[in-house]
Structure 1
Amino acid sequence: MKILVVDDHALVREGLHQVLKGLDESVEVLQAQRCDQAFALAAQHSDIDLVLLDYHMPDMNGLQALEVFGQEHPELPIIVISGTDSTHAIRQMLQVGASGFVSKSSMSDELLTAVRTVLQGDIYEPPELLNSDHQENLTQRQIKVLQLLLDGLSNKDIAERLFISEETVKSHVAAILRHFDVQNRTQAVVAAARSGYMGLN
């Protein structure tokens, strides 16, 4: 088995190498510290089984790298690794062609589970993505209210901006709190930002 690890930090690459030994002692790990090196290695080694790709690389981001890999090596499964836990970003990566996503804050067991899942031909979706599906049920108006909350606007300001009553804003805010399972606006803003929502400004 041959796995290509793409990360600009030597310590991270070595750490992943050690974790991957948990799959099989004989696993061969190729390492690249830049995306252009990774593409060259993938061209040289047609027998690579899997790529572990850090999302934040110095020469391009994960989405751009996924597109290049998709054009040059469409058959090659890629698991993206990132410190970003944004469900919006994770969905984007899976849509662009990633076979899985693992947060850098995960335990090594989760990485091995993801690798085994993808090597079997399946897609690995992290638990935080599966748990976030209820957030997709916000209406367009609630999302607009949420974006203005993220910009720091008060209920009164939001009401004026959207030409609705303050009471209506309050009911939208209450719905947003329920969706994120939080107690107040501050917690909602934090949860929304983590899930990839952004303000309008």
Structure 2
Amino acid sequence: MGCLLIVEDHALVREGMAQTLARLGAEWCVIEASDAAQALAVIDGGAEVDLVLTDLMLPGMNGFSLLATLRERDPSLPVVVVSALSDKATVSRAMRQGASGFVSKGDSGDQLVQAVRLVLDGGLYIPPERRPPNARAGRTSATIRPSPADDYGLTQAQTRVLHLLAEGRSNREIAESLGLAEGTVKVHVTRIFKAMKVTSRAQVLIALAQRGTRREG
């Protein structure tokens, strides 16, 4: 059974999110925490958490600090930010710091479920209003093109994976597209992260975009 951890200080919001996430099916359990300290205690207590959903405005340690702490402890643990603060600067900061998704509290329950499913499948969820033009729903823009292999010391196989990763493809989709086992794709993604000195898909996209801007300039 998979496990989702909700970090939200308002009980009604937290309970509503838990009810919405029940749509994922009986194979998923939901743990609730009212602040970052309680969330970290849950993880330190041995709970096998597959994904964390956190608010940003938390008492004590805020959501950004929690995100940074989780990234340091386990870069592979996906985090989806669910916040009433959904301006461009906030969304960009969250994704830059390693969030795998961002959902506004003004979004529907269907959007929350869609985001969680996508992130659990290895994808990256960006709010519809923050996506580049012509980007597919729930995907990043395919206009970002990875650098040549020798820029990061990647093998040809890793470069092919990077191209698809930059299109917002999940590990499963990359595996199907390249005829690889999903476990092999995960190994390639891990090595790509190490070569590019990043810890999340969001940071990969940011690094590629920044590199493209420097070259154009």
Common fold by TM > 0.5:
yes
The answer on whether the counterparts of 1:87 and 1:132 sit within 8 Å (CA) in structure 2 is: no
SS in 2 for 1:21: helix
- Equivalences, count: 133
Question: How far apart are 1:45 and its partner, in Å?
Answer: 3.2
- Give the Cα–Cα distance (whole angstroms) in 1 for the partners of residues 12 and 6 of structure 2: 12
Residue 97 (structure 2) pairs with residue 96 (structure 1): yes
- Give the Cα–Cα distance (whole angstroms) in 2 for the partners of residues 64 and 114 of structure 1: 22
TM-score, length basis structure 2:
0.58
Q: Which residue of 2 aligns with 1:67?
A: 68
Flag as ranges the 4+ runs of structure 1 deviating above 4 A: none
- Give the Cα–Cα distance (whole angstroms) in 2 for the partners of residues 46 and 74 of structure 1: 17
Question: Identity rate of aligned residues, in percent?
Answer: 40
SS in 2 for 1:55: coil
Residue 123 (structure 2) pairs with residue 122 (structure 1): yes
RMSD: 1.6
Q: Which residue of 1 aligns with 2:56?
A: 55
Query: Looking at CA atoms only, which structure, 1 or 2, has the larger radius of gyration?
Result: 1
Q: Which residue of 1 aligns with 2:166?
A: none
Once the two structures are superposed, what CA deviation does each residue of 1:71-112 show, in whole Å capped at 9, x if it has no partner? 112221000010012111101100101000000000000000
Q: Which residue of 1 aligns with 2:114?
A: 113
Is there any run of 5+ residues in structure 2 with no aligned partner, and where? 135-217
The answer on whether the counterparts of 1:87 and 1:128 sit within 8 Å (CA) in structure 2 is: no
- Give the Cα–Cα distance (whole angstroms) in 1 for the partners of residues 9 and 47 of structure 2: 23
SS in 2 for 1:29: strand
- Give the Cα–Cα distance (whole angstroms) in 2 for the partners of residues 45 and 23 of structure 1: 23
Is there any run of 5+ residues in structure 1 with no aligned partner, and where? 134-201
- Give the Cα–Cα distance (whole angstroms) in 1 for the partners of residues 130 and 84 of structure 2: 14
Q: Which residue of 2 aligns with 1:165?
A: none
Query: Residues 106 and 21 of structure 1: is their aligned pair in 2 closer, same or farther, counting only changes over 3 Å?
Result: same
Q: Which amino acid aligns with 1:116?
A: R
Once the two structures are superposed, what CA deviation does each residue of 1:154-184 show, in whole Å capped at 9, x if it has no partner? xxxxxxxxxxxxxxxxxxxxxxxxxxxxxxx
The answer on whether the counterparts of 2:83 and 2:104 sit within 8 Å (CA) in structure 1 is: yes
- Give the Cα–Cα distance (whole angstroms) in 2 for the partners of residues 132 and 91 of structure 1: 16
Which has the larger displacement, 94-103 or 46-55?
46-55
Residue 41 (structure 2) pairs with residue 40 (structure 1): yes
